Chains A and B, each alone.
Chain A
Amino acid sequence: MKIRLNGEAKNVDATTVSSLIVELGLETRMLAVERNLEVVPRSQYETTALCEGDRIEVVHMIGGG
């Protein structure tokens, strides 16, 4: 499936946010996932399906002040 990941076109096998994280090898404790300008709650990664053309961005947990 074709999605836009962090602003760039990408072909992925994943069909859910959860499987996308596995496919990309992301450390979930350090990030949030944004799908089409909405942050997906962590407990809903498995039930959130990806759709063709989705814009997915990784939001990094930052803590500086």
Chain B
Amino acid sequence: MIDFTEEQIERYSRHIILPEVGAEGQSKLLESKVFMIGAGGLGSPVAYYLAAAGVGTIGIADADVVDMSNLQRQIIHNQDRIGMPKVESARETMQALNPDVKVNTYNYFITEDNVREIIRDYDLIIDGCDNFPTRFLVNDACYFEKKPLISGAMFRFEGQVATFKPHQQKGAPCYRCLYPEPPPAGLVPSCSEAGILGALAGAVGTIQAVEAVKELLGIGDSLAGKLMVFDALRMEWKKLKLHKDPACPLCGENPTITDLSTYEQACELKFGE
């Protein structure tokens, strides 16, 4: 266990006092490594809260720069950072909040060529990206590298959160058991085309952050095998049961996806450039 400094004891006192966390749990968080895909709407609250919680190493990947239209929901950035790489802006905010945290920045796209090597160094992966090809790539890479994945997505007034760890629990599904393949190009409008309620990002992202801390500590009920669906207009959270699909092309009985190169071809066919 880590020898806490006096400042750390004070900083994390509200965690340490929780019997489920304690000094041991806080020490575990400080030694944990989490990788976050996306420093946008979901990445903002996730990275912010994980930094506050004292997750010792946080990797964050995003190839974008901060834009004025991001600031309606991406609260880890601010007006002075417009034009700055999002990962740099995120690092500044996180380290201003908690200098204990080491932030690794990846200011480029996650691809089939780099994703496995990157995630290998981390204990837990969190997806808050803004496109389907990356979602499928990250799911497949986490499956092959046996990393737990907390996936979050949102659109207009709706959010979804699920934890996938098919390698850890028998019968636990992966993202492809829910959605087997990416949608055809052009059928899915992006946030910029369809709009998104800014505070929804906080609702969805903080659920991801809560689940991340629970997974790292191994406390409570995991969201593995569940899908949380949030409807902000009805103000309703639903917890749905997810089943492993025996016909899943990745983790099913007769997988057709056996490495990431298969994924690349499927995506080129479906998405093109």
Q: Which residue of B lies closest to A59 (CB)?
A: B229
Q: Which size class do A's interface residues fall under? A: 20 to 34
Instruction: Tell which of A29, A38, A39, A42 has the most Cβ of chain B within 10 Å.
Output: A39
Q: 0/1 per residue, A5-42, Cβ < 8 Å to B?
A: 00000000000000000000001011010100111111
Cβ-neighbour of A63 out of B40, B130, B180, B181 (below 8 A): B130
Does B84 make an interface contact (CB < 8 A)? Answer: no
* Cβ-based interface call for B122 (8 A): no
Contacts of B40 in A (CB 8 A): 65
How far is it, in angstroms, between the C-alpha of A58 and the C-alpha of B244 when the chains are bound?
18
Q: Closest CB-CB distance, A43 to chain B, in whole Å? A: 3
Question: A2 near B: Cβ within 8 Å?
Answer: no
Task: List 3 tightest A-B contacts by C-beta distance, closest first.
Answer: A43-B247, A41-B245, A62-B155
The CA-CA distance from A40 to B190 in the complex, in Å, is 26
Within B210-260, which residues are at the interface with A (CB < 8 Å)?
227, 229, 238-248
- Report which A residues bind B (CB closer than 8 A): 27, 29-30, 32, 34, 37-44, 59-65
A29 B178 Cβ-Cβ under 8 A:
no
- A contacts with B: majority SS: mixed
CB distance from B202 to the nearest CB of A (A): 13
The chain A residue sitting closest to B189, CB to CB, is: A64
User: Is B87 interfacial (CB 8 A cutoff)?
Assistant: no
18 A-B pairs in the complex with CB atoms less than 8 angstroms apart:
A29-B187, A37-B238, A38-B240, A43-B246, A43-B247, A59-B160, A59-B229, A61-B179, A61-B183, A61-B188, A62-B159, A63-B135, A64-B194, A65-B38, A65-B40, A65-B42, A65-B127, A65-B153
The distance in angstroms between the C-alpha atoms of A30 and B132, with both chains bound, is 11
Contacting pair A60 B155 (CB below 8 A): yes
A18 vs B166: C-alpha distance when bound (angstroms) = 26
Query: Do the beta carbons of B41 and A27 come within 8 Å of each other?
Result: no
Instruction: Assess A63 versus B247: contact at CB under 8 Å? Given A32-B179, A39-B240.
Output: no
Flag if B243 contacts A29 (CB, 8 Å): no
Q: A63-B135, A63-B188, A65-B42 are in contact. Are A41 and B243 (CB under 8 A)?
A: yes
Seed contacts A59-B227, A61-B183; 17 additional CB < 8 Å A-B pairs: A29-B181, A30-B183, A30-B187, A37-B240, A37-B241, A38-B242, A38-B243, A39-B241, A40-B243, A43-B245, A59-B240, A62-B155, A62-B160, A63-B155, A63-B188, A65-B127, A65-B128
Chain B, range 153-211, C-beta contacts under 8 Å to A: 153-155, 158-160, 177-181, 183-184, 187-188, 190-191, 194, 196
